[in-house]
Amino acid sequence: MTIYDVWPYFAIIAIVLLVFRLPILSFIDEPTNPEIQRRVYALDGLRGLLALSVAIHHLVTAYKYHVDGIWGWLPSGFYNQLGEAGVSLFFMVTGYLFWRRLVQENGQTDFVKLYIGRFFRIAPMYVVVVLAMFAIVAHRTHYELRVPPLELASSALRWLALGMAGSQIPLNGDVHANLVLAGVTWTIGYEWAFYASLIGLYFVARKRTHLAVSGLSFLVLLCIARPGLGVSGFALLFSSGMLTASLALSGFSAQSKGASVVAISALAFAIASSPATYGRATQIFALFVFFVIVSSGNSLFGLLTSRSCERLGNISYSIYLNQGLAITGLYGLPFIRTWAFSGIPYYWASAAACCIALAALSSVTYALIERPGIRCGKRLSRLPVRRQAGSGRIA
């Protein structure tokens, strides 16, 4: 048995799904909304599995980091792709949801309401985990001031900028502070960049032209994307989600069992054909095929719309942000660390326990932090605001 065996991943996913069927977790359920189409529930379930997959990717990365002191690239294409393909699909979901919203509103998008909603969706949980990271770094640096006060204040403010000031930010002399959060906050900066681009996309998101616009941008970006963490590659991921939304709005549907087989085959090809995704046209196109089918409402034989996946989808943002804290906290305990790293089977057992603890913690933070934040944002966006002509709503 090695740390790169594939079967433990599926075993952990199955265990977490079984745990999340328990009635005790009904407090994270959201009321069923008959107005929400089936495709949205399938995407929610997908997000839950993606968040958990990224966490398992980082658990394997943490093992490698313990062995050789290097955080990053794994010699396993499968476990690399749990991270890269997982994040890529998250970006596609974002592109899908917001392009679909712009097109459906057809020139009536209220950007004040949109950005208030985004702020209160992202900020509360983000600030909480960053403050927790501050506390852990303070403990690791023995509560000593190791840099000039202004430098410390600057670092803290950059961390609190909701991902817009970068993520690899030293804190009080700790150059690996970002690893306390498993380095996941870098993606939020790209999310904000996409939200900013919506103001420009607004002018071309019209019911008559949306399919042509999204299709052309997808083809252009597919041709110019280059391997690596480049802007064009990430733009292609968002564009993939946009084209998927346009196809869905144009009536595309693939909910048959045969389509499920095609979707799973496309995902398997994307994972198996290369250890990397970002900026690679072949991998992104394969993920696009998978995503088009799922976003049409295909539940992959009922998996994505199961109660367990639905619950994981509700708490997916908390799972994503909490994963580093769970890994740092669990393996920071000396007796756990000694036991877990004494053999591969023990590490995988500890990884399963970590995923269950992560999901449980995320259920609580969703109920106490995320959900109230979302509701607060909705209440604020409904408040009457005096606007001058042309402000707030772009028409």
Read off the pLDDT of residues 105-163 as tens digits, 9 standing for 90 and up.
Answer: 999 999 999 999 999 999 999 999 999 999 999 999 999 999 999 999 999 999 999 99
* Average pLDDT across the chain, whole number: 92
User: What does the angle CA 305 – CA 40 – CA 27 come to, to the nearest 5 degrees?
Assistant: 60
Q: Give the model confidence (pLDDT) of 280-308 as tens digits.
A: 889 999 999 999 999 998 999 999 999 99
Burial class (CB in 10 A: 0-12, 13-18, 19+), 322: buried
* Helix, strand or coil, per DSSP, at residue 381: helix
Angle formed by the axes of helices 77-105 and 210-224, nearest 10°: 150
Contact status, residue 298 vs residue 42, Cβ threshold 8 Å:
yes
Rounded distance between C-alpha atoms, residue 54 and residue 313, angstroms: 14
Per the confidence metrics, is the pTM higher than 0.85? yes
pLDDT tens-place string over residues 232-251: 889 999 999 999 999 999 98
Task: Give the rounded distance of the alpha carbon of 119 from its chain centre.
Answer: 16
In sequence order, what are the beta bridge partners of 174?
171
C-beta atoms surrounding 73 within 10 Å: 11
Which amino acid is it at 86? G
Facing residues of 365 across strands?
none
Residue spans per domain, the chain: 7-26+34-382
The yes-or-no verdict on residue 203 having pLDDT over 60 is: yes
225 falls in which pLDDT band (50, 70, 90)? confident
Q: What is the pLDDT of residue 34?
A: 58
| Residue 395, pLDDT score | 33
Q: How far apart are CA 109 and CA 229, in angstroms?
A: 31
Residues 373-382 have a mean pLDDT of: 91
Q: What is the DSSP string of 311-375?
A: HHHHTHHHHHHHHHHHHHHHHTSHHHHHHHTT-HHHHHHHHHHHHHHHHHHHHHHIIIIIHHHHH
Alpha carbon distance 331, 334 (integer Å): 7
Q: What is the pLDDT of residues 16-41, one digit of tens each?
A: 999 999 999 999 998 876 555 555 77
Q: What is the pLDDT of residues 309-318, one digit of tens each?
A: 999 999 999 9
Higher-scoring residue by pLDDT: 279, 270: 270
% of the chain residues with pLDDT over 90: 82
Residues 178 and 133: their CA atoms lie apart, in Å, by: 8
Q: Using the 8-state DSSP alphabet, how is residue 173 labeled?
A: T
